Amino acid sequence: QVQLVESGGGLVQAGGSLRLSCAASGRTFSNAMGWFRQAPGKERDFVAAINWSGGTTYYGDSVKGRFTISRDNAKDTVYLQMNMLKPEDTAIYYCARAVYSSTVVNPSAYNYWGQGTQVTVSS
């Protein structure tokens, strides 16, 4: 069984930065990992993904150039560094483990999810 626990969310002003962490218990080092977000009344959107080794990353268009995903397999932890935050980045952010080892955008390809961490960006 895999458990994912996100942390690092909070309230920040527009233009600020936050770093989210996702600590995993159970096997994740051979799987791609991803971050998704869901704003009130909206569908869950893809944010970023990283392959099993950390050598390949992929980003949603709305965060490209501002967010960076990384992982430390020795610590079973995935990170999301968020810079130049905008009010439209406000959402609950979820960490997820993919079925595959390569990056994937479709949320149906992820079989384990964390409980989420709230990120609020004020204008």
Determine how β-strand 67-72 pairs with β-strand 77-82: antiparallel
What average pLDDT does range 40-50 have in this prediction?
96
55-96 residue pLDDT tens: 999 999 999 999 999 999 999 999 999 999 999 999 999 999
What is the pLDDT at residue 28? 72
What average pLDDT does range 33-58 have in this prediction?
96
What is the pLDDT at residue 75? 93
Instruction: List the beta bridge partners of residue 97.
Output: 33, 112
| Dist CA 46 CA 62 (whole Å) | 10
Residue % of the chain over a pLDDT of 70: 100
| Dist CA 4 CA 96 (whole Å) | 7
Confidence of residue 97 (pLDDT cuts 50, 70, 90): very high
Q: Is 77 helix (H, G, I), strand (E, B) or coil?
A: strand
Q: Please state, rounded to an integer, the average pLDDT across all residues of the chain.
A: 95
